[in-house]
Amino acid sequence: MRLRTLTALTGALALSLVTGCAKDGSTGASANTVTYWLWDANQLPAYQACAKGFEKENPGLRVKITQLGWDDYWTKLTAGFIAGTQPDVFTDHIQKFGQFAELKVLEPLDDLDIKASDYQPGLAANWIGQDGHRYGTPKDWDTVALFYNQKMTKAAGLTAEQLNSLSWNPKDGGSFEKAIAHLTVDKNGKRGDEPGFDKNNVKVYGLATNGGGDGDGQTQWSPFTGSAGWSYTDKQRWGTKYQYDSKPFQSVIKWYFGLAKKGYLAPFSDYNIQSNQANTQVAAGKAAASFDGAWMISSYHGFKGRDMAAALTPVGPTGKRATMMNGLADSISKASKNKEGARKWVAYLASDACQTVVGKSGVVFPSTPAGTEAAIAAYRKQGIDVTAFTEPVADKKNFRTFSFPITNYAADVKALMQPEMQAIYGNGKSASSLDETNDQINLILGQ
């Protein structure tokens, strides 16, 4: 009860602060305007093009698009729900969905007749609430792969074929750990698997850091926990019990962050969410490889002087490779001032008419097969092989794909897991400490 009380008080305080900073907001909505928010600046031109197509098909309707950075986006959106300055339509994230659905700030979209078969497997089902209503239309998807600097892997004697054939286990790390160790070089030129290697003075880490991963580990440890057969919760969607107290899970976490103790994985102190994420470490030549999402393909291939490629995630103890497959959606605010126009815009966003336009931009994989094929062709035209990201979706025999945990109280889970994962990674805290954290999380969920 004490934890529930603290959580409620924290939420109330955050609510008051958000309400206070929302007073200057304005949606600019009108009877002939649909306001639309997104956070990815790289996708803005594609959606501006979609807006032109939509306006041509719907004379008299105009789409006003606002792009905000990730942190500002969620702060202002939450504030907007409270102050009445929310957009008509917005890009939604599965981690926020549970909270928004519970707060009843989303408009049901059942009448749009979204068919699961029209989209990549699993994307449509993720946006069905606990009440059975749909609250989001599939927008795009992403998977995770291992980006690597080809000059560095070549110097280490590692071929693309070898990098795509790696396997791992939580006992000795398998061929994956051997590869990461060999890619690591200290300031005296010694590799991580050579006698005399100085783990305290590393010049190039085999693997860049993307931080502790909070409670999801999307671009950190999730390819390993996933290929070990572990799941975040007791159910695929709307689980009521988290499983961070699982011994198999904790053994993976102990091994993964143990790579930093050996000097192969960049230390937690090298991570900065604003400026020094995995991609910037690779771009600076301070790391040879990094796990990252498909949304970063263009960024990695845009690094000057870096010849980048991507490999499949390694095979795990289950005999399968694994990757999170995240999918965004477009949702309508329940308090939208133009619901009729918003419905037309959301339907258009989910159609091939828009999705192929987005795909041709070569920035993201749209949710429809036609949109995905357009994206693959666009990347191919740029000379970029995206097989490491698309193969997991097509080959269910050898790959396991899974979603972010879809539950209520996602913000509370993050608030509890973030400091714990950081302490395990950065301060050497035992992974078994997650037993207590897991109990606290499940108490919040009502267990």
DSSP secondary structure string for all residues of 299-323:
HHHT-TT--EEEEPPPB-TTSSEEE
Mean pLDDT split into 10-residue runs, the chain, 447 residues:
33 38 43 95 96 97 97 95 96 93 94 95 95 97 98 98 98 98 98 98 98 96 98 94 98 98 96 87 97 96 95 98 97 96 98 98 96 98 97 96 93 95 97 98 89
How crowded is residue 258: how many other Cβ atoms within 10 Å of its Cβ? 18
CATH code for residues 144-324+409-434: 3.40.190.10
Number of residues in the chain? 447
Find residue 288's DSSP bridge partners: none
Q: What are the E-state strand segments in 99-216?
A: 137-142, 144-149, 185-186, 202-207
Residue 118: exposed, middle, or buried by beta-carbon count in 10 A (0-12, 13-18, 19+)? middle
- Give me the residue spans of the domains in the chain: 2-140+330-382, 144-324+409-434
Amino acid at 141: W
**Cβ within 8 Å of residue 196, ≥6 positions away:** 188, 190
Name residue, tokens 């890619």: 183
The span from the CA of 321 to the CA of 398, in Å, is 6
- Backbone φ and ψ for 199, nearest 5 degrees, come out as -70, -15
CATH class assigned to 2-140+330-382: alpha beta
Q: Which residues contact 217 (CB under 8 A, 6 or more apart)?
A: 225, 421
Question: Smallest Cα–Cα separation from 207: which of 296, 268, 250, 157?
Answer: 268
Q: DSSP string covering 331-367, please?
A: EEBTT-S-HHHHHHHHHHHTSHHHHHHHHHTTSSEES
Query: Is residue 236 exposed (0-12), middle (13-18) or buried (19+ Cβ within 10 Å)?
Result: middle
Alpha helices in 198-313 (DSSP H): 222-227, 247-262, 278-283, 297-301
Quick one: pLDDT at residue 415?
96
pLDDT at 273: 77
Helix or strand holding residue 380 (H, E): helix 369-381
pLDDT at 274: 74
The torsion angles phi and psi of 276, rounded to 5 degrees, stand at: -130, 60
- Those residues whose C-beta lies under 8 Å from the C-beta of residue 266, and which sit 6 or more positions away, are 205, 207, 208, 209, 260, 281, 286, 287
Identify the CA nearest to 37 among candidates 78, 83, 94. Answer: 78
Determine the Cα angle at 323 with ends 321 and 326, to 5°: 155
pLDDT of residue 152: 98
Q: Write out pLDDT tens, residues 107-159.
A: 999 999 999 999 999 999 999 999 999 999 999 999 999 999 999 999 999 99
Q: What angle do CA 397, 402, 408 make, to 5 degrees?
A: 155
pLDDT at site 169:
98
pTM, two decimal places: 0.91
The predicted structure's pLDDT at residue 446: 87
Residue 368 three-state SS: coil
- Within 13 Å and on the Cβ side, how many CA atoms surround 160? 12
**Joined tokens for residue 404:** 């972010």
pLDDT of residue 30: 66
Q: Give which of 231, 227, 251 is closest to 241, Cα–Cα.
A: 231
Q: Alpha-carbon distance 187 to 271, whole Å?
A: 20
